[in-house]
């Protein structure tokens, strides 16, 4: 009978070069009252598909008034990752991706004092939604030990959005932006 070797934590050490699946979370998303999770499914050591979901329920007070802005919705992304350089447990990849999202946006009524006026002004409540999509390409580095991963990525993205309602959006509806992130994960062999 062959005895399986364990790592320093007690997990069995896998003989495979790449995991079947890595389940990941983005801890920084919690700062924005969001939760972001990804699953990376490996077809081979060099090719994987990463599917991600972000749920946001964020409230942001206005800096100049008593109004509060609310953002609630979901973001979905699909990355096709090609690992072109692997050295030990570090893999470098390039990943074309597609994302789509839907958010309900609203702001509460409030008052503000103008800098040039001593009287209070009223802000009406507003609401609306945005639907959008984005495409781009990511460059990333994933560090993988036997059971844990650290994934850092960034890349240019082109976004298009459509709005409904009377919410005042302060950004363009077609733009190039940067997508970046860091996830930690658990590998399943």
Does residue 30 carry a pLDDT above 80?
Answer: yes
* Beta strand ranges found along 16-115 (DSSP E): 21-25, 34-42, 47-61, 68-87, 90-107, 110-113
Q: What CATH number should be reported for the domain whose range is 21-188?
A: 2.40.160
H-assigned helices in 30-186: none
pLDDT for residue 59: 86
**pTM, 2 dp:** 0.79
Rounded CA separation 182/28 (Å): 8
Rounded mean pLDDT of 4-22? 66
Specify which of 62-76, 105-119, 129-143 reaches the highest per-range mean pLDDT: 129-143
Q: What is the mean pLDDT of residues 116-124?
A: 62
Choose among 189, 146, 188, 149: nearest CA to 8. Answer: 146
How high is the mean pLDDT of the chain? 84
């Amino acid at each position: 009978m062959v005895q399986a070797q364990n790592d320093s934590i007690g997990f069995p050490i896998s003989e495979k070069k790449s995991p079947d699946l890595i389940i990941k979370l983005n801890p920084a998303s919690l700062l924005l009252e969001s939760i972001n999770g990804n699953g990376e499914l490996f077809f081979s050591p060099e090719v994987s598909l990463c599917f991600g979901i972000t749920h946001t329920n964020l409230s942001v007070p206005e800096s100049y008034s008593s109004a509060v802005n609310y953002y609630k919705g979901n973001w979905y992304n699909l990355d096709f990752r090609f690992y072109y350089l692997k050295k030990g447990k570090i893999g470098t990849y390039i990943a074309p991706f597609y994302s789509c999202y839907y958010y309900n946006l609203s702001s509460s009524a409030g008052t503000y004092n103008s800098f040039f006026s001593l009287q209070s002004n009223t802000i009406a409540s507003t609401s609306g939604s945005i639907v959008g999509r984005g495409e781009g390409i990511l460059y990333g580095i994933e560090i993988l030990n036997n059971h844990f991963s650290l994934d850092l990525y960034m890349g240019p993205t082109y976004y298009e959005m459509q709005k409904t309602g009377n919410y005042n959006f302060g950004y363009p509806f077609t733009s190039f932006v940067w997508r970046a992130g860091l996830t930690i994960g658990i590998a399943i062999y």
